[in-house]
Every structure is written in structure tokens, then in C-alpha cells.
Amino acid sequence: MALTAPRGRRSPARVRAAPHAAILIQSMRDVGYTLGSALADVIDNSITARARKVRILAETTDADARIAVLDDGRGMTADELMDAMRLGSRSPLESRDGDDLGRFGLGMKTASFSQCRRLTVVTRQAGRTSVARWDLDMVLKTDDWLVEIPADDETIPWSEDLESDGTMVLWERLDRLVGPHGEGQDDLVRRLDEAARHLEMVFHRFLSGERGLRRVSLSLNNRSLVPFDPFHSDHPATIAGPPETIRVGRQNVTIQTFTLPHHKKVSPEEWERFAGPGGYVRNQGFYVYRARRLIIYGTWFGLARQMELTKLARVRIDMPNSLDSDWKVDIKKASAQPPPHIRQRLRQLIETIGANSKNVYTRRGRRLADSRLPVWQRVQDKNQISYRVNSEHPMIADFAGGLPGALKAAFSEVLEIVSSAMPMDAIFADVSGHPESVGGAELSEAALEHAVRTTYQHLRREGMTTELIADMLQATEPFRSSWHAAEAIISKLESTDRDTDV
């Protein structure tokens, strides 16, 4: 076929260049879905269909492993089903209802193809059943976009579980999850557990029945999924900032900052759970919701670095689906970029966003530095920060004061060596990874009593009242961690002082 236009022809010739079905459909399998994000894309359709109950069923015990998503939504007619099975069934430029979680009309197909070689959809509306199937092996064999229409649904697994209205999306031949002889079935169970945790966060506002949303229940093999709010917003120690609305044309984008509780304010189980996959440092930043469905999280969009001191800062951004193009929402609904005017406002908010998180971690240290009793002193010389044993601490000063001259100088050198040998790298690594398990060495009862007695007597000689001494000790380690015992010792010392005065 000639590809050049005849001489004298003004308009260009047109040649049909339809894609090869076998090649394109295979390429579409590698868009980048995980099992969790693929299931989320299918569930989007269930929620858009106004389902109240969505069940994920998985058979993992034999070589014919399969996964199905069943809902009690409004279902589809035969014509609607065929349109839903078509690749690119709706234009991303088309106006959608505000609660429509779809985007390109590709989600169900690309998500399914990324996990399986055979996709079957069974749908019922008013008791009337329609079935359609994509079989990738058939597409590769015929190199054509052929959808199969099974004669009935009786042999299709779990189709009997559908109600009079609803839809089931069935994945079979899970070649990306299980080998041809059942290899990887244990890994499939692990991936399903990971996917469940992903769905608990992505749809947490639907699972909890947030005001203005229709509550949706999700389950995996009859185990109900529990909403996971990444902002821990119901905890009294969480700091929630006021919502801010940014107008974009006729649409609103809402931003709200949250600072998660310090690990001392929550249980070890809560601390571990709210760290999320990858930990607190990795999961700090912006959490973008599209129609209140989480699409991207744990990023500062290049506006700030993920740092240890800001690891408790998380920011919720709510955007409507009408701004998809502005935000460059991708096919998987797992990536987005704020438009320039929103980005500029986020840049201005960065310092405020991180301030509370920094304060949570520096407040204890600042209170210690302000007291007159720190065992360790923070010293800043230009850009260099170091920590040194405080030789003026009452207990240390009293001990040094009782030494002869030669030993006093030697003791001072010992303190210098201890200060210079502080293992900063190891401390930073431990605090970054597991702050809840890092703390000071346990103090014996005898050592605590000696420390309280020496400090109390030293400060009393300086003319301080017992009440002021107690306040200072309660704000300072090691007394704060053992305050109940320390307070009892102070009471005995105060009683002795009164008896002496009498």
C-alpha cells in the first residue's frame, strides 16, 4: 500500500492503523497495578453503582485459584454490560456525577488484566442475568477484540451468591499471582492480607460512614474490613488544624493538617499500626482524596523533604473528580500532581504543616533544657550541635566537690570522654526505626534515692522551696520516669526538714 498522497491532492490521505489486539492487550497488563490497587479499582465501580455491601471472595487452596468481587449495587442490563466491557467505555473529558469514582472507562479491564488471564462479569438487574467474558488467550489466538457471551451462569463460581441486583467481577487464571501448578499460593494469601490493609485505608471514609457518604461494608472471605484512618483523628492527642478551602473555578479543594500523637501518648500496638507500610518517615506528607477515596499518600510533592522531625505530619487534601485533568490523575487513580496555584499554596503551608510535628518531638527536650537540672546539656556552636554531661548538675557537682584536687581533674576528663563518645549514629538509627523501644537505662531504687536526696539537699541549700524542687524534678529525667517513687522520697525528706526545724 502506498503511503504517499497523489500529486495535486490538497488533503492528506488517511490510512487505518488499528492496534493489534494481541499485542496491545498484553501491554495493558503492565500498567503497574498491585493486587490492592487492582481490587480498589474494581470496588470503585461497585461504590459508583451505589452498593452497600461489597464482598471479596478468594479461593487459594488449589491450582485453579480465583478471586471475585461481588456487590449489591444496581447491576447492569445486557447492553450496559457490553459497554462496560469495552476498553475506554467513557471519555475522561466527559462530565461525571460528583460521587462517580471512575475516570477513563478502563479501570475494571486494566486492573483485571494485570492480575488474571480470564475476566468474567456476571450482573443482575431486577433478577435478569447478563454475562460477558474477556479471555486473553482467545484474544492472542484470534488477534481480535472478541468478548465471549457464555450460554449461562450456572457453572460460574460464586454466581449463585449474587442477589437480584448486583454485579460480580471474577478473575481466573491468576498467572501473575499463582504459577501453573499452584506455586505461590502461600504468597497469594500474604498478598491478599496486604491488599485488605490497603483497602481499609483507601476506602476508610466509606467504611466508617463519614457524614455525607453512604456507608459501605467490605469483607474478604467473610472477614469484615475495618476502616483505617491514617490521621488517627479520633485520638485526643492528635492535633487537627482548621480546614482551609481553596477555590478552583467553581470547585473547592479542602486542606486540613494533622499531627499524630507522640509514641508516649499511644499504645505500642497503635504506634505500630499507624506507622503504616514503610514507617512514619515514609508515610508523612500529603494524602490526596478524590471524591473522598484515597488516591495518593505519603508525599510532599517535592515541596519538602521527608525528615525525622516531621514524620508525624500528615495533610488531608480533598478534591472533586471534576478536577481530574488539573491534577493529572492517572489510569490507576494512584498518582496525581497539584496544579500550579494549589502547589504554590501548599508550598506556603509547608512550614506550618511541619511545625506541630517538630514541636511534639522537641517539646520534651526544650523543657529539659529550660530546667536547672539537665544531666545532658545541648550545646550549639554555629552549625555544630553536641551533647555534653552537665558538670553543674547538683548530683555531679556535689560528687566532684568531695574529691581531692587530682581526682577532681581526672573526673572532669572522664566526663569529657563520656560526652565525646556518645553514639549519635546508633541513637539516631534506633529512634528513627523504633522510638517507642528507646529509653534510658533502668535506675535502681538505691541510685534513685541517692539522686533525689543529693539533688534535694543541694537545691534546699540554695534556698528553694520543697514545692519548687518537686516541680523541677518532675520535669526532668531520671526523676520523671520514676516520679511516684521520687515523690515519696521527697515527702520523707520534707518531713525530716520539718522535724529538724522544730
For the segment 52-62, what is each residue's pLDDT rounded down to a tens digit? 999 999 999 87
Residue whose C-alpha cell is 520534707: 494
- Among 150, 152, 162, which Cα is nearest to 70's? 162
Helices (H) and strands (E) in the chain, counts: 17, 15
For the segment 411-420, what is each residue's pLDDT rounded down to a tens digit? 888 888 887 8
CATH class, domain 239-360, is alpha beta
218 with 54: CB under 8 angstroms? yes
User: Which range has the top average pLDDT, 302-306, 358-362, 416-420, 477-481?
Assistant: 302-306
CATH class, domain 21-224, is alpha beta
pLDDT class for 329, splitting at 50, 70, 90? confident
For the segment 159-181, what is each residue's pLDDT rounded down to a tens digit? 999 999 999 999 999 998 987 66
What is the pLDDT averaged over residues 274-281? Answer: 90
Q: What is the 3-state secondary structure (H, E, C) of 188-211?
A: HHHHHHHHHHHHHHHCHHHHCCCC
Residue bearing the bigger pLDDT, 350 or 297: 297
For the segment 370-399, what is each residue's pLDDT rounded down to a tens digit? 445 677 776 655 556 777 888 877 778 888
For the segment 445-454, what is each residue's pLDDT rounded down to a tens digit? 888 898 888 8
Distance of CA 367 to the CA centre of its chain: 31
The domain ranges of the chain are 21-224, 239-360, 376-501
C-alpha cell at 427: 541513637
Residue 368 reports pLDDT greater than 50: no
Percent of the chain with pLDDT over 70: 84
> What is the C-alpha separation between 110 and 169, in angstroms, rounded?
13
Give all strands (DSSP E) within 235-325, no chain letters.
239-240, 244-248, 251-259, 285-290, 293-299, 313-319
The pLDDT score that the predictor gives to residue 407 is 86
